[in-house]
Amino acid sequence: MPGPMTAPLPQQTIEARLAGGLAALAAALRFLTRLPVPRLGPADDPDAPPPLAATLWAMPAAGALVGSVGAATILLATALGLPPLVGAGLAVSVLLALTGALHEDGFADVADALGGATIERRLAILRDSRIGTFGAAALVMLLLLRTAALAALAADGGWLAAAALVAAGGLARAAALAPATMLPPARPDGLGHGLGRLPRRGLWTAAATAAAIALAVLAAAGATGAWLAAILAAAAAAAVVVRLAARRFGGHTGDVAGAAAAAAETAVVLALAAVAGAAA
């Protein structure tokens, strides 16, 4: 005899889950961008600390939405006949303005702090809002590499570059969760301490969401074969940042999470440009 049929979810349960999902996405967008995203539910409290622990799955989705703004920018630039390098520069600039350079600021701070003689000194440098010479140089190189790789991808009409920005946006936000999952907080205050140590299950859920988004957009752009390269690039970048943070800071901070995201976003675009170049 066939087993008992599973009862369908009540309409109220479905509506509650949809409302909770939208609230989580809104919370993630508010944290990742400067957009005036309205509060959509009790789970999305604008007066509470960044609700990352409750919205891990939504972070890659929000990152992909952010990347889609850059994708639209580069497609518009291509349609207007602008050179690929100009379109890539505009897309990167728009994304920096949209996010307030949140992750890039962390990347520059981490680059500066790596030169400190002790863990205490390195953590003090991370707190300093000023950017030093090494941090500035590292940030310039990061943005140059990202822009150049996007320009290479945009040379064939812009669709692959657009897909790369969406995929990189999702994968980078999943990578940002890796330090707080793999490491304890580096100090007893700040964003890192507020997050604590995130559950591994949340990281895998976020990674699966980011991977699915990357597969969908790259397949739509005719680059399904580049999917694995994009995922491996993001994972490798996150692993390097986690390793450095463990050895040099003794744990994770908000800046470390930002550095993981910025490094992963650039690594994904570089990997996709390498795959496209090898296939040409």
Asked, for residue 4, whether it belongs to a domain, the answer is no
- The set of residues, in sequence order, having a beta carbon less than 8 Å from that of 215 and lying 6+ positions away, is 224, 227
Question: Look-up: residue for tokens 């207007």?
Answer: 80
Classify residue 29 as left (phi > 0), alpha (psi -120 to 50) or beta.
alpha
**Tell me: the pLDDT tens digits for 258-277?**
999 999 999 999 999 999 99
Asked, for residue 254, whether it belongs to a domain, the answer is yes
Asked, for residue 201, whether it belongs to a domain, the answer is yes
Q: What is the pLDDT of residue 50?
A: 46
**Tell me: the pLDDT tens digits for 181-210?**
999 999 877 665 556 678 888 899 999 999
**Tell me: the pLDDT tens digits for 25-84?**
888 898 899 998 887 665 555 455 444 555 688 999 999 999 999 999 999 999 999 999
C-alpha torsion sign, points 241, 245, 246, 248: positive
Q: What is the pLDDT of residue 49?
A: 46
Question: Look-up: residue for tokens 């940002």?
Answer: 176
Question: Look-up: residue for tokens 């005899």?
Answer: 1
Asked, for residue 239, whether it belongs to a domain, the answer is yes
Asked, for residue 251, whether it belongs to a domain, the answer is yes
Asked, for residue 241, whether it belongs to a domain, the answer is yes
Q: Which two tokens stand for residue 198?
A: 């995130």
pTM of the model: 0.89
Domain that holds residue 254: 54-279
Nearest Cα residue to 130 out of 150, 155, 108: 108
Question: Look-up: residue for tokens 């994009």?
Answer: 230
Nearest Cα residue to 269 out of 233, 241, 235: 233
Q: What is the pLDDT of residue 56?
A: 84
Asked, for residue 33, whether it belongs to a domain, the answer is no
Report how many domains make up the chain: 1
Tell me the percentage of the chain whose pLDDT exceeds 90. Answer: 70
CA distance 218 to 207: 16
CA distance 102 to 268: 18
Nearest Cα residue to 39 out of 56, 58, 60, 19: 19
**Tell me: the pLDDT tens digits for 127-137?**
888 899 999 99
Q: Over the range 225-261, which residues count as b (16 or more CB within 10 Å of their CB) and which as e?
A: ebbebbbebbbebbeebbebbbebbbbbbbbbbbbbb
Q: Which two tokens stand for residue 177?
A: 């969760």
Vertex 264 angle, CA 259 and 266, to 5°: 100
C-alpha torsion sign, points 101, 64, 273, 159: negative
Nearest-Å Rg of the Cα atoms of the chain is 19
Q: Is the pLDDT of residue 152 over 50?
A: yes
Asked, for residue 21, whether it belongs to a domain, the answer is no
